[in-house]
């Protein structure tokens, strides 16, 4: 009993000491500035940052033309003297912006899983830490991946057009027939968090088998009976091909005229990774000529896709406006993780999700 009391008191004293130390440190860090690069960052992330630092937020949207013009100029004005940058944008971080920041910039925390627009070589050369927000968005993106598979396989683009025109061709017994997920072969390029979360959701659709490609075997693949195969094998055997790989020099335009020619005629390709994983001109030709069955895209190049883009003329291409992680819960989780990475970096602690630790 006495031993238990001693341990309990010790824990309380230790907890109090840590809390008092953190409070003292927080008072000392209030003079550190954190720049939030877009006016739509979730409030839950802002609150975490404001507990520790002075938060400076852009008045402008970090995306589209506004992100490239008004917002970028605003950031150039606000970033001098900042110790951290929360990056919410599909535009790249420029060398000029980092020059404006000055040497006290310690971390860039991107509120996304992908970080191909974060100028990694430049950050590394300057000794600036980089974090991202993987895993917290896997479930939401997986839901969109499955939605795109269904949408492309069941010809949503054509069928929605029928509803708008009031001409329901699908009423006929042999009209507007689609493809089944049941008993199909699913090939996943990028069997990380999103790829695995998608496989988990597809199990309930009674798919036939899973294939995946990559540089190494994934222990988690055993949970799905998924088989590691060369990319060419995956392309030639899969009914559905999911791209959930990061964009790198190796993966850029990995889907092109040559790789499309290896796919089945009934193949459906789905992209939830980055637009530049696919050469869109080659994809257009393959879809137009019915070389493959259909495509479902949540990411494109550029974003937004211009309304006169030729992919939008195809009945067998189902496109969404990059909404993979767009749920209230997921965007809050992403904002909070980005904010916590900043807190850890500026307190000298290890990053939670490091890219450049």
Tokens 């008092």 identify what position? Answer: 20
Contact at 8 Å (CB) between 237 and 248? no
Residue 342: closest CA among 38, 15, 51 = 51
d(CA 221, CA 103): 44
Largest CA distance in the chain: 82
The two three-digit tokens of residue 269, written as one number = 């390709």
In the chain, what is the straight-line distance between the N-terminal and C-terminal CA atoms, in Å? Answer: 45
d(CA 152, CA 85): 38
d(CA 140, CA 175): 32
d(CA 76, CA 297): 33
Q: Where in the sequence numbering do the catalytic residues fall?
A: 322
Which segments of 197-313 are extended strands (E)? 209-213, 227-228, 240-243, 268-271, 294-297
């Amino acid at each position: 009993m006495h031993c238990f009391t001693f341990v309990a008191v010790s824990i309380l004293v230790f907890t109090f000491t840590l809390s008092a130390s953190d409070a003292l440190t927080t008072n000392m860090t209030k003079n550190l500035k954190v720049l939030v690069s877009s006016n739509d960052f979730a409030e839950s992330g802002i609150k975490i940052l404001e507990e520790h630092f002075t938060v400076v937020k852009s008045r402008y949207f970090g995306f589209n033309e506004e992100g490239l013009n008004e917002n970028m100029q605003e950031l150039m004005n606000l970033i001098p003297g900042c110790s951290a940058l929360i990056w919410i944008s599909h535009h790249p971080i420029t060398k000029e912006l980092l020059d404006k920041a000055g040497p006290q910039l310690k971390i860039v925390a991107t509120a996304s899983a992908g970080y191909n627009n974060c100028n990694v070589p430049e950050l590394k050369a300057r000794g600036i830490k980089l974090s991202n927000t993987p895993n917290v968005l896997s479930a939401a993106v997986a839901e969109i991946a499955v939605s795109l598979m269904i949408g492309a396989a069941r010809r949503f683009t054509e069928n929605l057009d029928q509803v708008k025109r009031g001409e329901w061709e699908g009423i006929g017994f042999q009209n507007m027939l689609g493809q089944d997920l049941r008993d199909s072969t699913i090939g996943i390029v990028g069997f990380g968090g999103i790829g695995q979360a998608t496989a988990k959701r597809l199990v309930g659709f009674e798919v036939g088998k899973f294939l995946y490609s990559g540089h190494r075997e994934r222990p988690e693949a055993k949970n799905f009976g998924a088989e590691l195969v060369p990319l060419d094998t995956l392309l030639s055997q899969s009914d559905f091909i999911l791209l959930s790989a990061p964009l790198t020099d190796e993966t850029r335009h990995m889907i092109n005229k040559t790789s499309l020619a290896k796919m089945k005629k009934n193949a459906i390709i789905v992209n939830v990774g980055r637009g530049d994983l696919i050469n869109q001109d080659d994809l257009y030709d393959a879809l137009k000529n019915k070389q493959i069955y259909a495509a479902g895209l949540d990411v494109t190049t550029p974003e937004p896709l211009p309304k006169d883009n030729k992919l939008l003329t195809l009945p067998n291409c189902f496109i969404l406006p990059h909404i993979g992680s767009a749920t209230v819960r997921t965007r809050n989780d992403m904002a909070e993780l980005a904010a916590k990475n900043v807190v850890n970096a500026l307190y000298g602690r290890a990053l939670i999700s490091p890219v450049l630790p």
